[in-house]
């Protein structure tokens, strides 16, 4: 039987100034009719370039497809010219594509309708009236309400989730046989992500279309994909059914990835095992296995032989590795499997050591969490009825047009030595809270008490003192370091500003110490940020925050811009530093698994208010607010066995704009348990026992 | 504490060439392109000529000799003589003093004050921004040469007043350009990081904002030099600049154009010098911009 799509030995390379980047290096995969297949890998592993190559969307030069075949229903697409009639028919006609960034993949000067109609008229040869009718149907199908009116809207009038829906409608409008979704949900919030993935699954089922999901998120593919390909450095290193991959990973990279991601269902205190080192540069790569230097299972043979071919180990399960990791058929995947696998496989080399550490850390961290929990009652930071309103002005005389209540009456306490996680969807006011605490904004109302003193409205000198004690770690390691300063002077600046060192020797000694503290080589101090990788830059940012010996560090999404294998390194570093230096963290993130992993207590925010705040255990095991429940259920777990059994609450709609906040409980329009009173009564945080506070009138 | 010692800590090393001192790295990048070396040599040579003019010049630049007016190039007068019989080569050599000084000082005045105002306006915003930028707008409304003329007339003649008036006339462009740069740099995370660290406004402006605003300014400076040298000629022609017997390139181009058909070298020789100065500063400006760009580190 002819497969829907079969890619054989595809090779694509890019010419750059100092060599050749082998972006896709002999990739083969296939997709059957009606199948959902996932391609997983970190950024730069060639997963997107592979898809662009087979559609011949690579810009050339510098890119060039060097060889291979891409058989679509038996016809080799690579035989056609990039701008040929046949290729244009395939693209958007037989193969639909959805890109990652819904903000830029729609043309801002055309209405949504015009963009759908354009492709429908082209591929389905409809006249404009019929095409418009067809477009409205498509929009209805992807769950856009009032499709007749909204079809004439421009992209900026749609929210992120709606734009991605429109993209799906556009891709599906021509009834493609295959839909390629390249990171379809990466730019979206977790609840919207769940909606979009469900929609994708239902749509392809409805039209009997095959779906190829390209993503870096293992959780996303675990829930939906039937088969998975894991890519690394331009090659497929492991492939198989999703049960094969998750329950019985055989390639060291796959095993590493699964261990490096914190999960909602793992025991707390389990230390993440990061993949050491950095992803390899693809420029003039040596012929050996690219994972070699990061691999903890490597043998002599790996150094001498070229990169191993994919070989079948079991049914559909293929692995490209010389080391034969023992196969284990275990009922439920997840932790147990991985830990056991580590124990059995690690007899020969460093991973034995690693699992020891894991075991010892588990117990230590448990003790630690328990002990900090009881002993430290000293409050380091307290926000009291914090309010931050931004006013929008309008017209020549700048009269106040609207008030945006970004943070509205937020109160919480952070105890010394603990980590308070702050979670919520984008636009819920997490970052605004952080900036108020750091005095980057002056709050409209309320108070912030730090070490017992109200720090709002104090004179400049007090502010400078406070700056020493409270520091910030930024989300984006690229824009948060001055590109024209060397790493050394970035880290040393706080020392100079606060005159914390007496002599030049003391300065350089302290800078070197800070470098080592975050795991960087002090000899790199005169390099500029551009010369470091993303993970290393984040380490520099952390070292800068540590320079003044702060007691509180606000971490604003410190890992969300990093690759999966690097995230674990940074989380571990933050945990280690906390223990060593007795730091207190306010940890802001949208990733609930990470927050669960690192936090002692967690606050959930929605539209500028805290809806639930409690210790991590009660929050994750006994969430009381409907919003928390929905958030938790939207987080994908990288394990198909667990995913099958999970019950899911899909939230309706999207986060409303702060400009028209719903009356009463602002969550009521999306709440599945809402009653009539919810739209009129504003709930306040109520203690329901054991420090568990919930803002819901039904409690 | 046991855990931290037990944990396998990886100090990350990078495989990059050994580090050299900051200044030597700067020089290496700067001198890595041949055209930049070429430009530097021209500037250096012109500066030396200007400084040692009395030693180099074969004749007195103001000495008239009415028996030898408008001569062709010869062994005695390499670039010939002008309508008053003065040696053109000597006048060019002496003229380099005034032309280079006017160019560099007036662009320097414009650059320093323009950037200062632009930094203030961009960084502090609000009322500071409004006041400064409205004044700048007012200056921009008048064509630069007319503006320089008015200021020059107010200050009275002489070299100093030419430099100041040209400086003020060129200033608005710098202020506008740098203000725009500051506005975009101000929004970046690293400026916020500097505030969180506790840096004063002055430190943030000098250490973080200013260096990141510099590249387009370098380009503008190199373009403006030629304009300033020519504008000086215009002002001198109208009697605001240098008094007639003294030599300046711009004025020489102006004087010579009457004899363009019979004795073109009178205009061409000083014109070529202006061209060389502008070209050389352009090349050096390019090299400077590259040498200061951290993104090019390690590639050159």
Higher pLDDT, A393 or A566: A566
| CB contact A357 to B (< 8 Å) | yes
User: At residue B295, does pLDDT exceed 90?
Assistant: no
Higher pLDDT, A115 or A334: A115
Report chain B residues whose CB lies below 8 A from the CB of A483.
190, 212, 294-295
Report chain B residues whose CB lies below 8 A from the CB of A576.
3-4, 7
Distance from CA of A447 to the nearest CA of B (A): 19
DSSP A38: E
**Residue A455, token pair as written in the block:** 């720090």
| CB contact A519 to B (< 8 Å) | yes
For position A335, what pLDDT does the model report?
Answer: 41
Beta carbons of B295 and A483 less than 8 Å apart: yes
Closest CA to A381 of A313, A466, A291: A466
For position A61, what pLDDT does the model report?
Answer: 75
Residues of chain A by 3-state class (helix, strand, coil), percent to 5: 40, 25, 40
Domain ranges of chain B: 22-58+80-296
Distance from CA of A699 to the nearest CA of B (A): 40
Q: Which of B14, B22, B193 sits opposite A480 (nearest CB)?
A: B193
The residue ranges of DSSP E strands in A459-547, in sequence order, are 470-473
- B147, B167 Cβ separation under 8 angstroms: no
| CB contact B192 to A (< 8 Å) | yes
Beta carbons of B297 and A530 less than 8 Å apart: yes
Q: How confident is residue B119, by pLDDT bands cut at 50, 70 and 90?
A: very high
User: At residue B75, does pLDDT exceed 90?
Assistant: no
| CB contact B8 to A (< 8 Å) | yes
User: At residue B223, does pLDDT exceed 90?
Assistant: no
| CB contact A19 to B (< 8 Å) | no
Distance from CA of B8 to the nearest CA of A (A): 8
Report chain A residues whose CB lies below 8 A from the CB of B3.
360-361, 364, 576, 579
CATH fold of the domain at B22-58+80-296: MetI-like fold (1.10.3720)
User: At residue A543, does pLDDT exceed 90?
Assistant: yes
Distance from CA of B189 to the nearest CA of A (A): 4
| CB contact A292 to B (< 8 Å) | no
Beta carbons of B194 and A481 less than 8 Å apart: no
User: At residue B115, does pLDDT exceed 90?
Assistant: yes
Q: Average of pLDDT values for B13-20?
A: 52
Report phi then psi at A694, rounded to 5. -135, 140
Q: Which of A17, A494, A527 sits opposite B198 (nearest CB)?
A: A494
Nearest-5° Cα angle at A301, A300 to A303: 70
- Rounded to whole angstroms, what are the CA distances from A183 to A213, A384, A563? 7, 40, 14
Q: Average of pLDDT values for B114-123?
A: 94
Q: Which residue on chain A is closest to B188 by alpha carbon?
A: A479
For position B19, what pLDDT does the model report?
Answer: 55
In this predicted model, what pLDDT tens digit does every residue of A260-285 receive, in sequence order? Answer: 888 887 777 777 888 877 777 777 77
Beta carbons of B211 and A277 less than 8 Å apart: no
Q: Which residue on chain A is closest to B4 by alpha carbon?
A: A576
User: At residue A554, does pLDDT exceed 90?
Assistant: yes
Report chain B residues whose CB lies below 8 A from the CB of A468.
198
| CB contact A277 to B (< 8 Å) | yes
For position A697, what pLDDT does the model report?
Answer: 85
User: At residue A143, does pLDDT exceed 70?
Assistant: yes
The whole-angstrom separation of Cα B183 and Cα B178 is: 9
| CB contact A530 to B (< 8 Å) | yes
Beta carbons of B212 and A479 less than 8 Å apart: no
Nearest-5° Cα angle at A218, A216 to A221: 100
Report phi then psi at A157, rounded to 5. -85, -5
Q: Average of pLDDT values for A96-119?
A: 84
Higher pLDDT, A60 or B12: A60
User: At residue A321, does pLDDT exceed 70?
Assistant: yes
For position A393, what pLDDT does the model report?
Answer: 66
User: At residue B88, does pLDDT exceed 90?
Assistant: no
Distance from CA of B16 to the nearest CA of A (A): 9
Least reliable range by pLDDT among A3-7, A192-196, B22-26 = B22-26
For position B185, what pLDDT does the model report?
Answer: 92
In this predicted model, what pLDDT tens digit does every residue of A27-81 receive, in sequence order? Answer: 999 999 889 999 998 887 888 889 888 888 888 778 888 888 889 888 888 888 8
DSSP string for residues in A376-433: ---EEEEEEEEEEEEEEEETTTTEEEEEEEEEEEEEEEEETT-EEEEE--TTSSHHHH
Q: How confident is residue B28, by pLDDT bands cut at 50, 70 and 90?
A: confident
Beta carbons of A485 and B200 less than 8 Å apart: no
**Residue A74, token pair as written in the block:** 């038996």
User: At residue A416, does pLDDT exceed 80?
Assistant: yes
Q: Which of A467, A524, A572 sits opposite B196 (nearest CB)?
A: A467
Q: How confident is residue A398, by pLDDT bands cut at 50, 70 and 90?
A: low
For position A612, what pLDDT does the model report?
Answer: 92
| CB contact B261 to A (< 8 Å) | no
Contacts of B280 (CB under 8 A, 6+ apart): B38, B39, B40, B42, B43, B46
**Residue B241, token pair as written in the block:** 């600049």
The whole-angstrom separation of Cα A460 and Cα B130 is: 26
In this predicted model, what pLDDT tens digit does every residue of B59-74 receive, in sequence order? Answer: 777 777 777 777 777 7
Interface of A with B in 161-190 (CB under 8 A): none
Q: Which of A467, A519, A520 sits opposite B197 (nearest CB)?
A: A467
In this predicted model, what pLDDT tens digit does every residue of A340-357 receive, in sequence order? Answer: 443 433 333 333 344 444
pTM over 0.90: no
Mean pLDDT of chain B: 82
| CB contact A250 to B (< 8 Å) | no
For position A346, what pLDDT does the model report?
Answer: 37
Interface of B with A in 59-118 (CB under 8 A): none
**Residue B52, token pair as written in the block:** 């040692």
The whole-angstrom separation of Cα A387 and Cα A433 is: 9
Least reliable range by pLDDT among A214-228, A253-267, B2-16, B82-96 = B2-16
ipTM over cut 0.85? no
The whole-angstrom separation of Cα A443 and Cα A433 is: 9
Distance from CA of B157 to the nearest CA of A (A): 43
User: At residue B8, does pLDDT exceed 50?
Assistant: no
User: At residue A183, does pLDDT exceed 50?
Assistant: yes
User: At residue B170, does pLDDT exceed 70?
Assistant: yes
Q: Average of pLDDT values for A602-631?
A: 90
Distance from CA of B204 to the nearest CA of A (A): 11
């Amino acid at each position: 039987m002819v497969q829907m799509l079969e890619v054989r030995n595809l090779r694509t390379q890019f010419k750059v100034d100092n060599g050749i980047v082998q972006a896709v290096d002999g990739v083969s995969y296939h997709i059957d009719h009606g199948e959902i297949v996932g391609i997983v890998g970190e950024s730069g592993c060639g997963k997107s370039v592979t898809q662009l190559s087979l559609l011949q969307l690579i810009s050339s030069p510098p890119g060039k497809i060097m060889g291979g075949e891409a058989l679509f229903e038996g016809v080799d697409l690579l035989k056609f010219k990039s701008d040929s009639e046949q290729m244009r028919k395939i693209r958007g006609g037989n193969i639909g594509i959805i890109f990652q960034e819904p903000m830029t993949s729609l043309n801002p000067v055309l209405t949504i309708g015009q963009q759908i109609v354009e492709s429908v008229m082209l591929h389905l040869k409809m006249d404009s009236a019929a095409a418009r009718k067809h477009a409205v149907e498509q929009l209805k199908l992807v769950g856009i309400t009032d499709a007749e009116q909204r079809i004439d809207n421009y992209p900026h009038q749609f929210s992120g989730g709606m734009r991605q829906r429109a993209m799906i409608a556009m891709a599906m409008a021509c009834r493609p046989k295959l839909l390629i979704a390249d990171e379809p949900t990466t730019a979206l919030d977790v609840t919207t992500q769940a909606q979009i993935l469900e929609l994708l699954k239902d749509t392809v089922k409805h039209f009997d279309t095959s779906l190829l999901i390209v993503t870096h998120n293992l959780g996303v593919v675990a829930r939906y994909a039937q088969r998975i390909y894991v890519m690394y450095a331009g090659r497929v290193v492991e492939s198989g059914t999703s049960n094969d991959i998750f329950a019985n990973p055989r390639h060291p990279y796959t095993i590493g990835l699964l261990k490096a991601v914190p999960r909602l269902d793992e025991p707390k205190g389990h230390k993440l095992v990061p993949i050491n080192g950095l992803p390899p540069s693809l420029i003039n790569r040596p012929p050996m296995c690219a994972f070699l230097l990061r691999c903890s299972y490597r043998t002599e043979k790996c150094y001498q032989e070229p990169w191993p071919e994919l070989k079948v180990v079991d049914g559909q399960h293929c692995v490209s590795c010389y080391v034969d990791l023992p196969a284990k058929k275990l009922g439920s995947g997840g932790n147990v499997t991985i830990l056991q696998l580590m124990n059995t496989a690690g007899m020969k080399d460093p991973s034995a050591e690693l699992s020891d550490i894991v075991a010892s850390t588990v117990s230590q961290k448990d003790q630690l969490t328990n002990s900090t929990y009881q002993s430290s009652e000293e409050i380091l930071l307290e926000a009291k009825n914090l309010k931050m309103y931004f006013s929008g002005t309008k017209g020549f005389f700048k009269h106040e047009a609207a008030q945006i209540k970004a943070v509205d009456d937020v109160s919480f306490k952070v105890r010394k030595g603990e980590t308070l996680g702050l979670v919520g969807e984008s636009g819920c006011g997490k970052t605004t809270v952080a900036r108020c605490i750091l005095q980057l904004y002056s709050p409209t109302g309320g108070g912030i008490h730090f070490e017992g003193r109200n720090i709002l409205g104090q004179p400049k000198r007090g502010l400078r003192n406070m700056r020493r004690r409270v520091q910030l770690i930024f989300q984006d390691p690229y824009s948060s370091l001055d590109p024209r300063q060397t790493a050394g002077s970035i880290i040393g600046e706080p020392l100079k500003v606060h005159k914390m060192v007496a002599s030049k020797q003391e300065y350089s000694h302290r800078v070197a110490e800070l470098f080592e503290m975050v795991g960087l080589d002090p000899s790199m101090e005169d390099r500029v940020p551009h010369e470091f990788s993303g993970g290393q830059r984040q380490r520099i940012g952390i070292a800068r925050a540590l320079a003044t010996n702060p007691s509180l560090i606000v971490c604003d999404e410190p890992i969300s811009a990093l690759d999966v294998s690097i995230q674990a390194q940074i989380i571990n570093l933050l945990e280690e530093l906390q223990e060593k230096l007795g730091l207190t963290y306010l940890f802001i993130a949208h990733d609930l698994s990470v927050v669960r992993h690192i936090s002692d207590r967690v606050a959930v925010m929605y539209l500028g208010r805290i809806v639930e705040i409690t210790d991590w255990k009660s929050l994750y095991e006994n969430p009381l607010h409907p919003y928390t429940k929905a958030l938790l259920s939207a987080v994908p777990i990288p394990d198909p066995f667990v995913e099958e059994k999970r019950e899911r609450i899909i939230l309706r709609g999207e986060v409303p704009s702060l400009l028209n906040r719903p009356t009463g409980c602002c969550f009521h329009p999306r709440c599945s348990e809402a009653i009539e009173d919810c739209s009129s009564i504003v709930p306040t945080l109520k203690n329901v026992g054991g420090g568990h506070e919930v803002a819901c009138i039904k409690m | 504490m046991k855990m931290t010692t037990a944990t396998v800590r990886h100090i990350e090393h990078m495989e990059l060439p050994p580090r050299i001192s900051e200044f030597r790295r700067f020089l290496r990048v700067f001198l890595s392109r041949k055209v930049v070396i070429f430009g530097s040599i021209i500037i250096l040579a012109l500066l030396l000529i200007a400084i040692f003019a009395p030693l180099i010049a074969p004749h007195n630049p103001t000495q008239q000799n009415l028996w030898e007016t408008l001569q062709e190039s010869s062994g005695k007068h390499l670039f010939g003589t002008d309508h008053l019989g003065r040696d053109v080569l000597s006048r060019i050599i002496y003229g380099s003093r005034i032309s280079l000084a006017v160019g560099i000082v007036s662009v320097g005045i414009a650059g320093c004050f323009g950037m200062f105002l632009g930094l203030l306006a961009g960084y502090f915003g609000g009322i500071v921004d409004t006041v400064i930028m409205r004044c700048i707008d007012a200056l921009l409304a008048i064509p630069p040469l007319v503006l320089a003329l008015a200021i020059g007339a107010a200050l009275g003649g002489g070299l100093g007043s030419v430099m100041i008036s040209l400086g003020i006339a060129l200033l608005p462009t710098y202020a506008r350009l740098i203000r725009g740069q500051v506005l975009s740099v101000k929004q970046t995370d690293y400026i916020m990081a500097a505030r969180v660290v506790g840096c004063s406004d002055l430190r943030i402006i000098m250490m973080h904002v200013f260096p990141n605003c510099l590249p387009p300014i370098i380009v503008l400076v190199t373009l403006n030099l030629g304009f300033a040298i020519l504008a000086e000629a215009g002002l001198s022609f109208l009697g605001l600049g240098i008094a007639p017997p003294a030599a300046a390139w711009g004025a020489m181009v102006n004087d010579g154009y009457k004899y363009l058909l019979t004795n073109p070298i009178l205009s061409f020789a000083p014109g070529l010098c202006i061209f060389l100065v502008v070209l050389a500063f352009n090349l050096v400006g390019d090299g400077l911009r590259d040498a200061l760009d951290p993104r090019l580190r390690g590639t050159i």
